[in-house]
Chains A and B, each alone.
Chain A
Amino acid sequence: MTACREVLELMSEALDQILSPEKKVLLDKHVAQCPECRAAWKELQWTHAQLKGLETLEPPPWLASKIMARIRAEAQPQASFWRRFIRPIVMKPQLQVASILLLAATGFYLLKSQRSERDVFTEMKQLDAPAPLQSLPAKALEAQDKLIPKSRNEPTGLGKSLQPGTQQNLLEASKPAEAGFAPPPTATPTPIVSPNVEREKQERDRARPEPPAVAPSAPSALAGASVGAGAPAAAESVAVPTRQAKKTLKREEGSVRADSSKEGPRGGMADAKGQLMNAQEQKDKADAAIWVIRLELRDLHSAEAMVERELTRAGATMVSQREPIAPRVLSARIESNRLPELLSRLARLGRILQQPDLPGEHPSLVIIRISW
């Protein structure tokens, strides 16, 4: 019904008392005549009254304070990037200190690891191509260079430079190689070197000049040269004088100090130079007199000491170890007329597998190489 629809729309304005007088009259007249509109008018009035009567909520007591706190916080100027990120770090010295210490420790550790790697690399290089002493004479250096083993079978070993020094040092240095390559000690010690290796060694000995016995002060550069396993196979390595040899030299010549490790490097090098000059002279004299003696010993652990002792008793000098790491070869200088005495002494230690044939005419001083 059109009239009812129009009247219904007037009811909302009537609630707000904004109807014009004419429309108010129209509404009242229609409501009086129309029961449905009358009911609707009553319902609307009731609903409106309920809306008006809705309770009002109270704000929480913290609302105003929180609003003002937010306003004050937003009113403060925002800290710059530097103040937000750098200043907190400045304000925490403990954190700074801890960071610095951590960085320092990390740097130290890295540097240390690099140095150790470099040292190992340097030593490895020295093993392959040992640098001779600068103060050594050219001929001695050349002879020394020729001693560097080229065989593949010779492991590079520890690469630690050995000071011409104590027998103990040599024994200690020899332990890894011994453990790696030496056969375990048995009741009947077997020959260490194979015939083929020994034959090759003899051929090399004949082809190349023997190096002089190095002075006891000849330092680490020589000792740091090739090291090898298996005594005879390493016969070409550089000789390292033992302590006994140093004492002998000191007693004989009276000018060489026993403990070169405590000497200054210059003093040691000067002595080494002098000794090498003498050694070179002797080498020239005993150019072809390198006599090889092979032994079969029972006690391998103390074999070196025993052989060295007998050499000393037989008047041998410049007893040197052919290989710092695998001391199964000793070389020495001895008067040829005392060779029989030496052989008899060595026979008491074990069985002589090979001994030189003593020629009729021979130089007074010869170089012997004893292996076991």
Chain B
Amino acid sequence: MSVPRLNEETDDVELVSACRSGDAERSEQAFEWLVRRHQKAMLNLAYRVVGDYDEACEVVQDAFVSAYKNLSTFRGDARFGTWLTTITLNHARNGLVRIKARRSHEAYSLDATLATDDGELRHDPPSQAPSALEQMEATAVRKKIQSCIQELPQDFREVLVLRDLQEHSYQEIGAMLQVREGTVKSRLFRAREGIKDCLKRAMEPL
């Protein structure tokens, strides 16, 4: 039986199987296909979590290398992308630690966090003029959203990125973060409220 040729149309299951074939050359070739297929999503996930492009590239490299080393632990009950996302998220947390360590000597950020001293999210009442948000320019919104995401507590931030940016299901998010679905829902609600309020404050006159 001839060995099927690997290409960009080969699904993740076959590629993973080829990685475990024992043939070093075929294994590397198959894994390279997996890298090229998932690197964009992983990069965006890492970027939204850590907030730094260079650090995100490092996170992605570490994640893929870990995935290759631990391919034997992938059982196949979840999608390869989901399994890889979990690995990337773990490495992104390490990246956050590195960033915090680097920025520990920097000036204290003047950006107010969305969390209060008690750990609760600041909740601003609904604006009487909801069109104020709509008045923000698109580019300004994009820039502000990223900073608002960075201001979220880490737990909320991860759920928000996985759901609204990576489009994972509640169930998958729960499996990745090892929390119940109800917790995922609650965190997501508070994360979205936090982004909303953050953007509203950006529009408030000084």
Q: Give residues in A with beta carbon < 8 Å to B.
A: 8-9, 11-13, 15-16, 18, 36-37, 39-40, 42-44, 46-48, 50-60, 63-64, 66-68, 70-72, 74-75
Q: In whole angstroms, what is the CA distance A56 to B45 when docked?
A: 10
Interface set, chain B 83-109, CB cutoff 8 A to A: none
Q: Which residues of A contact B134 (CB under 8 A)?
A: 46
Q: Give residues in B with beta carbon < 8 Å to A.
A: 24, 28, 31-32, 35-36, 39-40, 43-44, 47, 53, 56-57, 60-61, 64-65, 68-69, 125-128, 130, 133-134, 141-142, 145-146, 160, 163-165, 170, 185, 188-189, 192-193, 195-196, 199-200
- Beyond contacts A46-B130, A50-B141, A59-B57: 18 other A-B pairs, Cβ-Cβ < 8 A, are A12-B193, A13-B185, A36-B125, A46-B196, A47-B192, A52-B164, A56-B44, A57-B40, A57-B47, A59-B39, A59-B43, A60-B57, A63-B57, A64-B36, A67-B64, A68-B28, A68-B32, A74-B69
Residue of A nearest to B47 (CB): A57
Q: In whole angstroms, what is the CA distance A53 to B199 when docked?
A: 15
Q: Contact between A9 and B189 (Cβ–Cβ < 8 Å)?
A: yes
Q: Contact between B128 and A63 (Cβ–Cβ < 8 Å)?
A: no
Q: In whole angstroms, what is the CA distance A363 to B193 when docked?
A: 140
Q: Contact between A63 and B61 (Cβ–Cβ < 8 Å)?
A: yes
15 A-B interface contacts by CB (under 8 A): A11-B189, A13-B185, A16-B170, A37-B126, A46-B130, A48-B164, A50-B142, A51-B145, A53-B142, A57-B40, A59-B39, A59-B43, A64-B36, A67-B61, A68-B35
* Given the contacts A57-B47, A64-B39, A51 and B64 also touching, CB distance less than 8 Å: no
Q: Contact between A39 and B127 (Cβ–Cβ < 8 Å)?
A: yes
Q: In whole angstroms, what is the CA distance A52 to B161 when docked?
A: 10
Q: In whole angstroms, what is the CA distance A329 to B30 when docked?
A: 105
Query: A366 → chain B, closest Cβ, in Å?
Result: 104
Q: Which residues of B contact A58 (CB under 8 A)?
A: 40
Q: Contact between A71 and B31 (Cβ–Cβ < 8 Å)?
A: yes
Q: How many A-B residue pairs have CB under 8 A?
A: 108
Q: In whole angstroms, what is the CA distance A12 to B192 when docked?
A: 8
Pairs of residues from A and B, 3 with the lowest C-beta to C-beta distance, nearest first:
A12-B189, A39-B126, A40-B126
Q: In whole angstroms, what is the CA distance A179 to B188 when docked?
A: 104
Q: Which residues of B contact A9 (CB under 8 A)?
A: 189
Q: Contact between B128 and A71 (Cβ–Cβ < 8 Å)?
A: no
Q: Contact between A44 and B28 (Cβ–Cβ < 8 Å)?
A: no
Q: In whole angstroms, what is the CA distance A349 to B30 when docked?
A: 115
Q: Which residues of A contact B192 (CB under 8 A)?
A: 12, 15, 44, 47-48, 51
Q: In whole angstroms, what is the CA distance A64 to B31 when docked?
A: 10
Q: In whole angstroms, what is the CA distance A313 to B188 when docked?
A: 131
Q: Contact between B130 and A51 (Cβ–Cβ < 8 Å)?
A: no
Q: Contact between A71 and B47 (Cβ–Cβ < 8 Å)?
A: no
* Given the contacts A57-B53, A74-B69, A43 and B133 also touching, CB distance less than 8 Å: yes
Q: In whole angstroms, what is the CA distance A113 to B155 when docked?
A: 75
Q: Contact between B185 and A43 (Cβ–Cβ < 8 Å)?
A: no
Q: Which residues of A contact B193 (CB under 8 A)?
A: 8, 12, 44
Q: Which residues of A contact B69 (CB under 8 A)?
A: 74
Query: B170 → chain A, closest Cβ, in Å?
Result: 7
